[in-house]
Amino acid sequence: MTVTLAPILETERLILRAPAPEDFEAWAEFAADEVTMRHLGGPQARSVAWRGICTVTGAWSIRGFSMFSVIEKASGRWIGRLGPWQPEDWPGREVGWGLARETWGKGYATEGAAACMDYVFDVLGWPDVIHTIEPANTASQAVAKRLGSTLWGPSAMPAPYQDTFVESWGQTREQWLARRQGNRTAIP
């Protein structure tokens, strides 16, 4: 088995690193929050949150990439998870995000996702990226738009999410690189 060590990515206000044992309490609170989890599969029991953090952590070994824990630099707090994601039968190579409700509206999702977009295109060599978003999740649609992604259409989700209707927003590597070169300041 190949074990891949996760890189540490830094932005102006965030540290993106592999999940660690000390993240679990905040992760479990995040996963239990009904409002936060409204578009992320619904609230989860602590035992399900534990399996979730282990899945994200284990994907670094199995896939060579996975979501990062998001740490707010100013406070040192765990505030969410975001990054590359592609479980078996997923509709594409995704950069996704989920942040604790008290951090919404600060631009953290866009800031962290932009760093992850650089990572997946520059380091992993992905040809394209999607963001799977429920149609009612206008906040995540706004993040996708700020990243330069456009609506690609409906996507079929694998079990056990097969009854969840999502749309894929996405862009190609070439679109990202052209936008990054031409207007990098537009990405917070």
pLDDT mean for each 10 residues of the chain (188 residues): 76 97 95 85 89 94 95 97 96 97 96 97 97 96 97 93 92 95 57
pLDDT computed for residue 5 by the predictor: 81
Contact present, 38 and 55 (Cβ < 8 Å):
no
Q: State residue 188's pLDDT score.
A: 44
pLDDT of res. 39: 81
pTM, two decimal places:
0.91
